[in-house]
Structures are given as structure tokens and as C-alpha cells.
Structure 1
Amino acid sequence: MSDVAEIAEYEQADLKGTIDNSLSRKIKDIIAGFIGGGVQVLIGQPADLVKIRLQTTQATSSVQVIKDVIKNEGLLAFYKGTLPPLVGVGICVSLQFYGFHETKRQILQYTGQNKLNLWPQTYIAGAMAGVVNTPVASPVEQLRILSQSSSGESISMLNTIKRIYNTQGLGGIYRGFNITLLREFQAYGVWFLTYETLIQNIIKYHNFKSRDQISTPELLASGALAGNALWLSSYPLDVIKSNIQSDGFDSASKFNGSILKATRYIYQQHGFYGFWRGLTPCLLRAVPCSAGTFASVELALRVMG
């Protein structure tokens, strides 16, 4: 039997072979996810600003972006646009982990299994986490990108929402929804699949009886590797999304929300490399962010039981 097949024999949640469908279990999934989301934002916001500037401006290096921000905007600018993601990402990560665990429960009930295999079931559960997350992630990320993509005068989140809604309606708030959905489906399918594969390898290696026995450093390492897998598998989609969501409106718009137009523009301006601009700070950010997210979620769930 292959390693993957052997690993797939392990229970993906608590190795007890039972399905806990209680309301309290679902609430705990949501709370743990919110904690993980807050940790993720506070760790990763500076690197995320650098990534967005590289994706949507003519800056050619992370060092150039960092120097320009410090010179023109000051150190606090690295946390520009933090409020929307601090609240929004907390909600998003809550939805991601709830979506993952709820999809897992539904798959196990439907199939009659007491164990979730890694492929394709864990990927599907992760992908559905992305789908559930998209209605919140799409407007939140657009607000963050509009805050981060230029060095102009800061505009409050509420005023930005009002301006977009008054001129563009709900469609303007949800600009980039389709490309966000594509990115989320692939990204979180890979994220959860990679993390659970690593976790089950650790369980097998140590012959643990429960994932609660896994050490914090091992949780952090698994989360870090999962974070890089997420971005390597979905980064071009994220670049397209950033360009669509940082675009102007009406006569100032280059893409009018079109994925095809944005893709063509990126290729014409930067070639194939354009779809990978900003990858380095993104991967550097992903290591502590994803590590902190998964570890904080796991530890929170352990505390809550």
C-alpha cells in the first residue's frame, strides 16, 4: 500500500471515528477560525501591502516598495488598510474552518465513512471552505486592495464603501467575485489538503493516538508549508484578481471586471512573469501567517475541547 493510501486510513479530525454534529462543535470551529484569522492579519499585513504594490504598480522590487513606503508614508503605512482585513479576515477564516469541517461532516454522513480520505475528499472539503468564504472575502479584499494599491490620501473604509455603492451599486462592492471564487476554490483545496497530509504523516511517524499529541513546532511547520503550497498553486489567479479589484470605475476602468481583459493586460505589460510579480514577499508572508493560523486554530480547539 502506498504512503498516501496508508495515511488516508487515518481519521482526519480527531481519529475517534465519530461525527460530532452538535451546535457547540460548530460554534467552536467558528471561534477558533476567527482567532486564527486575527493572528494571520497581524502577522502578515506589512508583507501583504508590499505584495499588492508589486502586483498593481510599476514597482520592480520589494526593496523599492519598502523604501518608498517608509520615505513617503511612514512606517505605520505598512498597516494601512488593516481594519477591513482584521475584522473581515477573522470572519473569513472562521468561515473557512467552519466550511471545511462542515463539508467533512456532510461527506462522512453521505458516504457512511468514518474517515475522510486525503484525495479527493479533503481537497473538496478545502475547496468548499473557499466557496463559503468568497462572499465575504471578495468585498473585504477589494477594500484592502484599494487602500493598499496607492500611496494617496487615506480614505475611510466607510466612505469607500459608500462611494462605490452610490456609483456602482452592489455589483461594484462585489467586483472581482468570479475570479475570487476561482482563486478560493483552488487555493483552499490545496491549503487544507497539504496541511492534513503533513499532519497525518506526523501522526503516522510518531504513532500518535490523537492529533492533540502533535507538538506546536510541528503544527507551525505544517502550516508554513501549507501556506506556500496554497500560493504556488493559485498565485496567477490572485494577480488577476488584484488588478481587477484595484482598477478604476466607469471611464477610468481598464477591465470592466473582465478576467480576460485583465489577463491580457498583465501579459502585454509584463509577459508571463507578470503573473508571478510579488510572489517572493507573498511566500515570505505565507510562512508565518499560515503557520500562525493553523497552530492558533488547533490550539484554540484543544483549549475549547
Structure 2
Amino acid sequence: MDSKTVPSFAEATLGGHAPLTTKEPITTKASEAIRDIAFGSFAGMVGKIVEYPFDTVKVRLQSQPDHLPLRYTGPLDCFRQGIKQDGVEGLYRGVSAPLLGAGAETACLFFSYRTAQNILKATILPPEMKDMEQLPLGPLIAAGAMSGATTSLILTPIELVKCRMQVPLPSPLNPRLGPSNGFHSSVVSPLAVIGDVYRRDGLAGFWRGQLGTLLRETGGGAAWFGFYEVAALYFRSARTAGKDTSLTITESMLAGAGAGMAYNFSFYPADTIKSKIQTGDLADVGGGRQTFLRVGRALYRMHGLKGLYRGCGITLLRSAPASALIFTIYEGLRKAF
């Protein structure tokens, strides 16, 4: 990979290759799809390794029982208690499933982003846009939203298992450790969680919290790709005419970091509600079956808007370097191969 510059994402997916149209050979489409999946998977797994301890803290802050005094005073206290109880490895509890999931998620995001642009070109966009190498910002944001909505179907089961492994589980001696998930030990395997979900709720139980994931990923996908494209356009326009329009690694990292924060902040309350539903907290509030609106209203009544943004700071902190790495690695691999 060139140590000096990498192309912008739009350049990597559109500008450096012939536009993917219905006239394009099937073998070319297949090759592009394979590259999206392979490079996106690798970039996603690297990003997940960097961000996972912060994600564990975020989920634990979001999932604290609201009918009891809060166990953690903030992110630093959650870090401290987690390391004291389980060591550093405890912050990576349940990483195996989301590590594979992160690869699938990022691959799906980049692949479906390209596919969504092709769908828009073939259907609703005016004729003058169908042969454009790079679409305007509006259609790119729409493609990002479509990409996120598609990816949510893959993410919900993965995040269900991840969240239930990250949150400390209850024991007969200390019921304040967390919500009841059917276990009584502090460490469980992904297979144990999967088996418990299936016994309790069947196959549909793995998509518990799907609405929250759908809202977060649809809006977040638009924000993630949209911010990156805007930042890339800004960096390119700030240069004098005739210079190379490829982004430097620093520019790509900055654009990716901002994109990660935009993604997480834009629909963070949906993620908080989703985590509550998936970890079983607020199960008895208001009676009846948990729904997105029921859990959201209960959480807002007890803690207001602040409760919906619990753990947001630590989430933004971890999302910046992870997203920066994802975009830079993905684009670098596309340029190198």
C-alpha cells in the first residue's frame, strides 16, 4: 500500500473503476463484490479489536437496572470495576462472536453501499445521473441509509449474543450484578447464550431489538458514509487545481474518525433502547411484552434524555479510532489490490 496517499471511498468504489451498470460483465461485478467483502471483513475485524473494551463499558452503562441504585458512576468507574473483577480479559468477554460479526457487518456495509448506488442508478435517478462515476451527495446519503438497513438484519442476532455476554450476570449471592438471562455464573460461552435464547424465544428471539438496530443502522449508515463523503470533498476542494485528488492517510483517518462519531451520536438513543431490550432490563416496567416504544418511554420517564444518552461519551471515544482504521484500511487494500 502506498504510504503517502489513499483514494477517497467514492474514488475507491467508483472513480478508480468502471461504474457498475447492467452492461458491465458479470465477472467484473463478482470481482468487485469479492473485494468489498474481503477487504471490508478485514478492516471491520481490526476496528473491532480496537473498540471492543470501550463497547463493553458502553453496554454495561446502558444496561444498568433502573429500579436499583446505579452500579457505575461513569465510564471510568465502569472500567475500574470491570478490571478489578475480571481483569483486562473481562473487557473482551464475548469478543469472538462480534469479531466475526464485525467482519460480516463491515463487508455488508461496503458491499450493500455499492449495490444501493447501482439500484438507485437503475431505478429512481434521472437519466443524466446513470452514467456518473460519482453520484451527488444526496443519493450517496440515501445509499448509505439503504446499506445500514440491510446490515441491521445481520447485526441484531450478533449484538444480542454480544450484549448478553458483556453485561455481568446475576448470582444468588449478588442479584445486583445484572439482569436475569438464565445463567448463574459470571462467564458464559457464545454457544450457551445462543442455546438459552433459542430455548426461551425460538428462532425469532435472535432478532429481539431489531427495530432499534434498524433505526440506528439506517440513520447511522447515512451519517457514516455521508460524513465521510463530505469530508473527502472538503479535503479535495481545499487543494489547488491539478494536484492529486487522492486523500492522504491523515485526511482519510480524520474523515473516518468524524464519520464514526457522526454514526454513533446521530441515533444513539435507539442503541440504548436496543441494549435494554436485548439484555432483559426493564422487563417488568409497565407490564406486558417489551417493545421499543414501551422501553423507550419507561427509560425516559425515569432518567429523562440523559438516560437515553448513557454511555455516549465512551462510545464516541472508541468509535473515532475504529472508524478511522476501517476506512483507511479498506481504501488502502482496494488501492493495493
TM-score where L is the length of structure 1: 0.89
TM alignment of 1:114-193, pairs within 5 A:
114=132, 115-119=134-138, 121-150=139-168, 153-193=186-226
- Distance in 1 between the 2:86 and 2:288 partners? 29
Contact 2:46 2:326 in 1 (8 A): yes
- Distance in 2 between the 1:253 and 1:155 partners? 30
What is the one-letter code of the residue matched to 2:160? Answer: Q
Match of 2:19 in 1: 19
1:245 alignment partner, one of 269, 275, 278: 278
**How has the CA–CA distance of structure 1 residues 155 and 249 changed in structure 2, closer, same or farther, with 3 Å as cutoff?**
farther
Alignment root-mean-square deviation, CA: 2.3
Matched, 1:28 2:35: yes
Contact 1:29 1:98 in 2 (8 A): yes
**How has the CA–CA distance of structure 1 residues 94 and 239 changed in structure 2, closer, same or farther, with 3 Å as cutoff?**
same
Matched, 1:222 2:240: no
Matched, 1:45 2:52: yes
Contact 1:220 1:294 in 2 (8 A): yes
Per-residue deviation, residues 235-290 of structure 1 (Å, max 9, x unmatched): 11111111111116988997733011111221122121101110110010011011
Q: Higher mean Cα deviation, 239-248 or 145-154?
A: 145-154
- Distance in 1 between the 2:288 and 2:331 partners? 41
Contact 1:248 1:254 in 2 (8 A): no
What is the one-letter code of the residue matched to 1:34? Answer: S
Matched, 1:79 2:92: yes
1:284 alignment partner, one of 294, 297, 317: 317
TM alignment of 1:53-132, pairs within 5 A:
53-57=60-64, 58=70, 59-110=72-123, 111=125, 112=127, 113=129, 114=132, 115-119=134-138, 121-132=139-150
Match of 1:7 in 2: none
**How has the CA–CA distance of structure 1 residues 250 and 67 changed in structure 2, closer, same or farther, with 3 Å as cutoff?**
closer
Q: Which structure carries more helix by proportion?
A: 1
**How has the CA–CA distance of structure 1 residues 108 and 45 changed in structure 2, closer, same or farther, with 3 Å as cutoff?**
same
Match of 1:3 in 2: none
Q: Secondary structure at the match of 2:15?
A: coil
Q: Which structure 1 segments of 5+ residues have no match?
A: 1-9
Contact 2:12 2:331 in 1 (8 A): no
The offset of 1:203, in angstroms, is 2.0
- Distance in 2 between the 1:210 and 1:124 partners? 28
Match of 2:333 in 1: 300
TM-score where L is the length of structure 2: 0.81
TM alignment of 1:5-16, pairs within 5 A:
13-15=13-15
**How has the CA–CA distance of structure 1 residues 51 and 286 changed in structure 2, closer, same or farther, with 3 Å as cutoff?**
same
The offset of 1:32, in angstroms, is 1.4
Greater radius of gyration (CA): 2
- Distance in 1 between the 2:304 and 2:282 partners? 25
**How has the CA–CA distance of structure 1 residues 296 and 255 changed in structure 2, closer, same or farther, with 3 Å as cutoff?**
farther
What is the aligned-residue identity percentage?
29
Q: Higher mean Cα deviation, 106-115 or 294-303?
A: 106-115
**How has the CA–CA distance of structure 1 residues 198 and 157 changed in structure 2, closer, same or farther, with 3 Å as cutoff?**
same
- Distance in 2 between the 1:254 and 1:123 partners? 39
What is the one-letter code of the residue matched to 2:149? Answer: V
What is the one-letter code of the residue matched to 1:77? Answer: G
What is the one-letter code of the residue matched to 2:86? Answer: E
The offset of 1:303, in angstroms, is 1.5
Contact 1:255 1:261 in 2 (8 A): no
Match of 2:5 in 1: none
The offset of 1:210, in angstroms, is 6.5
**How has the CA–CA distance of structure 1 residues 141 and 253 changed in structure 2, closer, same or farther, with 3 Å as cutoff?**
farther
Q: Secondary structure at the match of 1:193?
A: helix
